[in-house]
A and B are shown apart, each in its own frame.
Chain A
């Protein structure tokens, strides 16, 4: 309890609150605008966070994520384009509602349930994370290796319909992470004699290169400018919906939140999957499934509750085990590491206050999101009209500042550009880029723990088969691989 109070106190000061506010605003804008993503928003903010205290920096990033996941609903409802994959299912019913003249109601429902989804997942985080961390304290490198291997199989779920290419992209990410000195014995690997390569590539260069810089190139061909006239007009009175409508959605909201939390916890999938699954579940368990897609609030509730709930869920493995679930959390991991914070069970012991600061920041970000989206909707629509040809070059130069700031090396700026081009080449050749990030982050974790475990067992493989937890994860790995292969076969048969 003491920790909770002092953690909360660290956030509740005007400076930190301002950073969260700023983060949420930026998150909403980047989440709402098609062609801009949360990775870019984080890239823009990283240079600022370098100079902030850990609490302020991390709090701002929390604002970015909550805003980023929720912001997509604005464009999804008002112009039928999801700002991010997290709001794809919101377009199914949100836009038909807008066409029926219920845009205000759709927005109101979406915003309120985004808020509730965040809050529910925050409670899950507060209760589950410390318990899991306690449990994970017992883990040795054997268990960590098993968890890393299991999480690596999740590259497959991020691969979309091309499994082979997805896995190759993941392995390529792992190769990128191998450049530099090896774990344990610090042998230089693939540095080609360059001293500057020995520290390896900075995580910021790789992540913002592949996800922000490559978008600058993409925007040259795919123009996604929005005009003010594209947006549906709307009116919101109060929350935009009645108490009766709210009560009718409580069950749907809770189910969708639970789906979001569970999907968030699983490595490899996040808000982008949660909204689709929750929408499907809401439709299947509805008394009037035929009405889905025609513009009913149930669809908006399912999508928007679950995508925000997945944020809290994704933070659970990130904070307790240091395992990022998707690109967003991988960036968050990068942001934490800049501040010298290494997520893992020890974080709860050595830096418990910070964990509670994160919880508090999440809560504040959710409130800001609620207030901003209700009060500032028209301002956001104006901002979304800013031309991409102005925005994208600014994104690029700020990415540069971000890459440079991590180690004060021009080397990192150069590789930022190169990884941008690699990311673009991969997506041009239909290789999904998301698995690359998972390979990049989790590959080294698997190698380090495998070698550490073998050192302490003096080369014996026996400990890998005597640890019950490791065995569970190895079994899950096999299940995951078999399921992936079966699914791929089924998919191939269907297309044949």
Chain B
């Protein structure tokens, strides 16, 4: 990642953190009190929110300083366009994040065996981009591993994983 992008990222992260702290501070006032005590359930969230606000502001100041201190990005750097393939290759981590999210949300509706098989297959493809892969092995593993895990846990360990559409 270019230095310029790193600074931008630091700035964004600092702002997001401050927003979280502010939200926490506001929400801490709506925590219900069930008992009469000197320190209620909203006290610690508020304290942590204040600490986060202080640290967050200091961190934002650092990020702004760093952002200002660096020279403006050269025009070429801005204009430089990456090919779609390069863009995709440098974002394989986010592709994996999407797969993981899809997987965790689909485990319930589709069931563990089906969701896991689909996830394994696509995740293995994403992680092996640019390497030689054995397609038969990918398919066999995607089917065999989730099936083996499912049966081992439901039959031996009595952990009733969601069966979903197969149940």
Contacts and interface: CB of A to CB of B under 8 A. Distances in A.
Interface of A: 47-48, 50-51, 164-165, 167-168, 171-172, 174-175, 178, 182, 184-190, 213, 216-221, 387-390, 392-394, 396-398, 400-401, 404-405, 408, 410, 413-414, 416-418, 420-421, 424, 428-431, 443, 446-447, 450-451, 454-455, 459
Interface in B82-118: 90, 92-97, 100-101, 103-105, 107-108, 112, 116
B56 A168 contact: yes
Contacts of A171: 48, 51-52, 55
Contacts of A416: 104
Main secondary structure of the interface of A (DSSP, over half): helix
Nearest to B56: A168
Given A48-B157, A175-B24, A400 B124 contact: no
Given A416-B104, A430-B10, A178 B162 contact: no
B146 A397 contact: yes
B158 interface: yes
Interface string B152-167: 0100111111100000
Nearest to A404: B161
Contact of A429 (B9, B119, B141): B9
A454 B37 contact: yes
22 contacts: A47-B159, A164-B59, A171-B48, A171-B52, A175-B48, A185-B41, A217-B94, A219-B127, A220-B93, A388-B127, A390-B141, A400-B103, A400-B112, A401-B149, A404-B107, A408-B159, A414-B108, A416-B104, A417-B100, A418-B101, A420-B97, A430-B13
A187 B32 contact: yes
A344 B21 CA distance: 33
B158 A51 contact: yes
Contacts of B162: 404, 410
Contacts of A213: 100
A157 B47 CA distance: 22
A280 B38 CA distance: 49
Nearest to B47: A447
A164 B62 contact: yes
Contacts of A405: 153, 159
Contacts of A217: 93-94, 96-97, 100
B159 A398 contact: no
Contacts of B92: 220-221
Given A164-B59, A216-B123, A459 B38 contact: yes
A178 B162 CA distance: 28
B119 A401 contact: no
Given A220-B93, A404-B159, A397 B153 contact: no
Contacts of A167: 51, 55
Given A392-B127, A397-B120, A459-B37, A220 B96 contact: yes
B9 A182 contact: no
Which of B17, B40, B108 has the most chain A CB atoms closer than 10 A to its own CB? B17
A182 B41 contact: yes
A414 B126 CA distance: 21
Contacts of B39: 450-451, 454
B35 interface: yes
A140 B115 CA distance: 49
B65 interface: no
